[in-house]
Structure 1
């Protein structure tokens, strides 16, 4: 009898010990390659040289923001090591740099690699390696595909979302419009056109009277514009990158074609589009945005804008504050910090993606009022709201409500 009691006693003691151990294990820190008690290694790929080098300031802004975070004590006591490489916007080079970051630098994740072709080139690799390709710097719709690419996530409102917002506005303001479209003949251009058609719904076939595509290698799109004017369209959707956007505005002014003009948000730069095209020729053009324009006087006393300026004064004083890319980099860097903080002591790649897919009404400083980041396990598009704006005088003026690009909405 005595021995049974003994055994039972030993058994319950063992059970208590087992429970205690598992609780301790549960509270233990968990790391994947690239994270330790003191450090989190983040990889990044930017076009610091080549045709898209103007975007290099995004990487510089992010690097400066992480220096600020480190100076303030890091993320839950860990410092960020930010390793950023140049790919000159060349996909084969992107592949090379991604391999280097994952296999020799051993980063925890790659954050904000820039451009649609460069990210397309590494998407399969990142997913097969199960390394997060987080908050990529491109608005292509395909980054929101958690089922097929659970390790890739976008950040900014995607091109189809943006087009659907224009479609809503056209249906409301010009229900009988005749629409002409000019678009770049690649994934970026086609994404925008699809969004517009989805947004117009059943009316797309009757409303769209002309679609013209152009190649990036064309010296000019003047003939495309002349052709589109001949259709008598009274609404024009301009899906072009900055060089061609400026040409379009100029040519339309020259030949006296004055439809309601929608310009995609990737070409709203005053310095590289509106000014070269001529402010006179640019009046009344409609586009959209989701973050505060640093040149807009309405934000001069805004606390978020003051914080942005204070950050630049201290960590990136040489930044060009009229360049909206600096604001863009600042906002998305806050997004990464938010996710890493949420990971707590579980800095595994699985948990990084889990936290990235669990963002609720997050408002980094710099977004327009009412714009919030939200994700879920089935929604990998953090930002999906925009506000319309119209070019007036020498600047953009926001108007209307903050709109969402849901097809149903």
Structure 2
């Protein structure tokens, strides 16, 4: 009897230890991860002054649904939780805390806006929660030493504005420049890139600057003042609603300078079409993504794949809206990081894999542009190409450019 008793007790102990081991293994991942799901948080301006960007979050949700329909990532389905902050930093802080503390997300992905992401960056870094591929090109996101849990995605604003500065210096060296900019970190980052790019000539070349706040209904009064400066170059640093207004107002005022429009408002569907194609002719911008509506890409394999996705998962959205392309490409980058994680879905490993992207192409990047990151470089995309609006689409010109504010060729 006694040996049998001890054999049973031993077997029970082994079973307990084994089950504890299984439980321990199941708990190796961080919050937001179960054996079947990965919970990802997101914050978007679905309402408010920059609600045109809200489509990005909707396209991301649609793409993650596609991934889930195909079996998920390493056996895990994506649970995508996205909240509205109306582009209000206090609201962004509230939503970030809700995602981290209540929803227990693994990470926060592609939340939009420079002032809004700035407001939550200290909190997320203190909590060691990845703030991945933020939807803003502010230069500050590439700071892995000070903020190791925050990473950008798109080219930074100072490089883009520097490319415009270089073009102006080469093609209109005696230009008189007027600038309209959003009066926050986003607008000032672009403005710094422009002035740095112009160098010593900035003070003499920039003859007029006007800022605006997103709480203002229009920028008509600013445009009247800028047009009165008789500048022959206009740099438009605005978000979509105000970009459409400024294009339309310049045309109404019969003011036709060399017109530069920042990339974040270069959407045909949500900016140029509402402003009027006639008023938009000749505008110059820069891009790193394909204009999926351009005849140039009609036979492109990646664009065909995107069209198939849109038709099945996002049929209600306007394909001429460039933000649909953006949402698709950045979501594919997020999926690549999760694939690289294997079965280690800890927050630390997510950041490690995000900082280990080598010549990755999420589809729809312009030829010659790839996603590259490292432990010391948190700027995944660092190249742009100039383009000009003609007819009803953008036409690329010149080389792919990269580098610092001055926009070195590369």
Same topology, TM > 0.5: yes
**Residues 292-371 of structure 1: matches in 2 within 5 Å?**
292-371=290-369
1:114 and 2:108 are equivalent in the alignment: no
* Closer, same or farther: CA 242–71 of 1 in aligned 2, 3 Å: closer
Q: C-alpha root-mean-square deviation of aligned residues, in Å?
A: 2.3
Structure-1-length-normalised TM-score: 0.86
1:405 Cα deviation from its structure 2 partner = 4.1
Please name the residue that 2:202 is paired with.
Answer: 204
Please name the residue that 1:74 is paired with.
Answer: 72
Please name the residue that 2:12 is paired with.
Answer: none
Please name the residue that 1:383 is paired with.
Answer: 381
Looking at structure 1, the residues matched to 405 and 227 of structure 2 have their Cα atoms a distance apart, in angstroms, of 29
Please identify, of 139-148 and 83-92, the stretch whose mean Cα deviation from structure 2 is larger.
Answer: 83-92
Please identify, of 320-329 and 237-246, the stretch whose mean Cα deviation from structure 2 is larger.
Answer: 237-246
Q: Equivalent residue of 2:377, what SS?
A: coil
Is the 8 Å Cα contact of residues 270 and 321 (structure 2) preserved in structure 1?
A: no
Please name the residue that 1:167 is paired with.
Answer: 165
Deviations 1:236-289 (A, max 9, x none): 211123333333333333343332111112222334433343333322111111
1:219 Cα deviation from its structure 2 partner = 4.3
Looking at structure 2, the residues matched to 229 and 83 of structure 1 have their Cα atoms a distance apart, in angstroms, of 44
Q: Which runs of 5+ in 2 are unaligned?
A: 1-24
Is the 8 Å Cα contact of residues 164 and 405 (structure 1) preserved in structure 2?
A: no
Deviations 1:78-115 (A, max 9, x none): 22222222333333332222222212222211111122
* Closer, same or farther: CA 192–298 of 1 in aligned 2, 3 Å: same
Is the 8 Å Cα contact of residues 223 and 250 (structure 2) preserved in structure 1?
A: yes
Aligned length: 383
Q: Equivalent residue of 2:173, what SS?
A: coil
Please identify, of 163-172 and 112-121, the stretch whose mean Cα deviation from structure 2 is larger.
Answer: 112-121
Looking at structure 2, the residues matched to 129 and 405 of structure 1 have their Cα atoms a distance apart, in angstroms, of 32
Q: Which runs of 5+ in 1 are unaligned?
A: 1-27
Is the 8 Å Cα contact of residues 115 and 186 (structure 2) preserved in structure 1?
A: no
Is the 8 Å Cα contact of residues 183 and 212 (structure 1) preserved in structure 2?
A: yes
* Closer, same or farther: CA 301–202 of 1 in aligned 2, 3 Å: same
Looking at structure 1, the residues matched to 85 and 220 of structure 2 have their Cα atoms a distance apart, in angstroms, of 32
Please identify, of 217-226 and 309-318, the stretch whose mean Cα deviation from structure 2 is larger.
Answer: 217-226
Is the 8 Å Cα contact of residues 50 and 239 (structure 2) preserved in structure 1?
A: no
**Residues 176-215 of structure 1: matches in 2 within 5 Å?**
176-215=174-213
For residue 266 of structure 1, the aligned residue among 256, 264, 267 is 264
Structure-2-length-normalised TM-score: 0.86
